[in-house]
Structure 1
Amino acid sequence: MVEELSFLNKEEVSFYKMLEEKVLISNRRNSYEETDFLDPFWQKMLISIANKYDGVSVSFFGAFNNAERCVGVIYNDYLPVPIEDEYMSVLAFDSKFDDVKHKDVLGKLMSMGIERETVGDIIFYKDACFFSVKKSVESFLLSQFQDIRRHSVSLYSVDGEGLKVVESEKTTEVIIAASLRADLLVAKIYNIKRNIATSMISKGLMKLDYRVFTRGDRQVELPALISLRGYGRVYVDEVVGRTGSDNLKIKLRREVYS
């Protein structure tokens, strides 16, 4: 156990133990135990925990095709496979507003007292915004979510099965950087000053592969997913060559929804 948790920080160890407790309860009581929405890192950790116990399975539900954030449901193999609609809902509103972005939707939900852990992926697709939430907050949101950025909206439930066709597109570009040092790379990716990148990283505002990363002087191993609070996220794939002055040519992908 000690070796398994040695790479986690104190907060992550607490979260790991909470997931482990859910697995133990499910195994002991032969019950269904659900988590909040988990990112891919914690989905893998939950699978690792469940694999320690014979006959324990985990199903993940995220509504969208290739969903990133998913609710995990832990159960014994002999029980019926859980049904997605019992644990989460997909809500939507028509959105033809150019000024409404992902961060606006998330900010609106947070301002209403909705915890981030109860919200899954937020997708803009064909003049509408879709987002998945835990079943426990569906009724409240349907009655109270009435506007966003001064625009009046009407929230409605959507059949999640119909959203399996939603897939992300990625724009590809190449940037030039002297090295893969984190603060330098972040500055180049987001076109900000290096001292600003260094400060944001040290404050815990950067995530590397879904985990908080605070060492701006460390090299980033590729491929990697980098996100910076307020600036979005980027898939950093590989070094594709060097310039005449020996700087690195680095391929990036930015995720967009049409």
Structure 2
Amino acid sequence: MDLYQHFRTEEQPFIDQVVDWREQVERQYIPVLSDFLDPREQLIYRSIIGHDEQFNLTFFGGSDRSERKRAILAPFYEVVEEENYKLTILQGQYNAKFVSLSHRDLLGTVMSLGLHRKKLGDLIVEDGQFQIICDRDLAMYLQMNIDKIKNTRINLHEASQEDILTPSYEWKAKDGTVSSTRLDAILKEIYQISRQKAQHLIEKEAVKINHRTVNNSSFSLQPGDLISLKSYGRSQVVDILGETKKQKIRIKTAKLK
């Protein structure tokens, strides 16, 4: 079976990586730990491994509500513990009365160090506190190099698993129908804007899919895709449920409240 036919062309390198991980486990009988994966990559990983009983595939990103998670692929008999994911939770404080700190501010500061996004899990910002979930080997580097965000001095320290922040946001799920899985059609459904408006925003590079800018209105969305539309918020394609009798496509989406 040709694995590639079920996925996008640009996803082929990740598919190759998953196949390589699977072969490593088959040959060496030892677990393989991934970097942090977005929801779409998690879905691809599950799709490729499927229900193969010789493997134990698990995901963890710090909490049950984590968006970005590391995966461990292990032989079926291997017991996987949270410690095996090699996560560190870094926490900082700021005075919310005088400083407004957003997820974008925190991400911009971290990425300005030249790091790859795959080494970072969720970034959580709540009133007066923020946390960075990261690869354990990266924690000391971040502590040594991040001492200021938006001209505000901060001090990063390790937090325990029990102290992980729970994001206050919620995803609101919704079922709907679209004429196609094109990006402009799905933006119209999720954000209740005209298709022409959606196309204009796409052309202006105001849309990101899985953290990558997409400027093609005909781009086809798939389950697990994360959408970020500037000034409108974030959403997700949860599932594609098939066609209606009128040949419309039924989809389940979720929007960040």
Range of TM-score over shorter length: 0.7 to 0.9
Looking at structure 2, the residues matched to 42 and 236 of structure 1 have their Cα atoms a distance apart, in angstroms, of 13
Aligned amino acid, residue 125 of structure 1? E
Cα distance in 2 between the residues matched to 1:53 and 1:157:
37
The superposition leaves residues 186-212 of structure 1 with CA deviations (integer Å, 9 ceiling, x where unpaired) of: 4894989656413146x9x4327x887
Distance 1:185 1:49 in 2: 26
Confirm whether residue 100 of structure 1 aligns to residue 77 of structure 2: no
2:46 is aligned with 1:13: no
Any idea what SS the aligned residue of 2:45 has? helix
Deviations 1:206-240 (A, max 9, x none): 327x8876542579899985323686413589xxx
Give the alignment of 1:24-43 within 5 angstroms: 24-43=23-42
The answer for unaligned runs of 5 or more in structure 2 is: 239-252
Cross-structure match for 1:198:
202
TM-score (norm 1): 0.73
Secondary structure of the residue aligned to 2:155 is coil
Matched-pair contact (CA < 8 Å) for 1:121–1:132? yes
Matched residue of 1:6: which SS? helix
Shift of 1:167: 4.3
In structure 1, how many angstroms separate the alpha carbons of the residues matched to 2:223 and 2:72? 31
The Cα of 1:135 is off from its aligned counterpart by 1.3
Q: Answer yes or no: is 1:116 the counterpart of 2:117.
A: yes
What residue number does 1:62 align with? 61
> Which one-letter code corresponds to 1:75 in the other structure?
A
Aligned to 2:170: 170
The corresponding residue for 2:157 is 156
- Asked if the contact 1:222/1:236 (under 8 Å) is kept, the reply is yes
- TM-score, L = length of structure 2: 0.73
CA distance in 2, matches of 1:218, 1:86: 34
Which residue of the partner structure matches residue 244 of structure 2? Answer: none
Shift in Å, 1:100 = 1.7
Distance 1:33 1:211 in 2: 26
The equivalent of 1:241 in structure 2 is none
1:141 maps to a residue whose letter is: L
Query: Cα–Cα, structure 1 residues 131 and 230, in superposed 2: closer, same or farther, change >3 Å?
Result: farther
Change (3 A) 1:215 1:81: same
Q: Secondary structure at the match of 1:99?
A: coil
Q: Is the 8 A contact 1:32 1:73 kept in 2?
A: yes
- Give the % identical residues: 22
Question: Secondary structure in 2 aligned to 1:48?
Answer: helix
Structure 1 unaligned blocks of 5 or more: 238-250
1:233–1:83 CA distance, 2 compared to 1 (3 A): same
Once structures 1 and 2 are overlaid, which stretch shifts more, 63-72 or 96-105? Answer: 96-105
For 1:79 and 1:166, the matched residues in 2 are separated by: 30
User: Is the 1:73–1:82 contact (alpha carbons within 8 Å) kept by the matching residues of 2?
Assistant: no
* Residue 130 to residue 142, structure 1, CA distance change in 2 (3 Å): same
The one-letter amino acid paired with 2:159 is: V
Number of equivalenced pairs: 234
Q: 1:8 to 1:195 in 2, by over 3 A?
A: closer
Contact in 2 for aligned 1:62/1:69 (Cα 8 Å)? yes
Whole-Å separation in 2 of the counterparts to 1:227 and 1:48: 24
Letter of the 1:110 partner, please give it: M
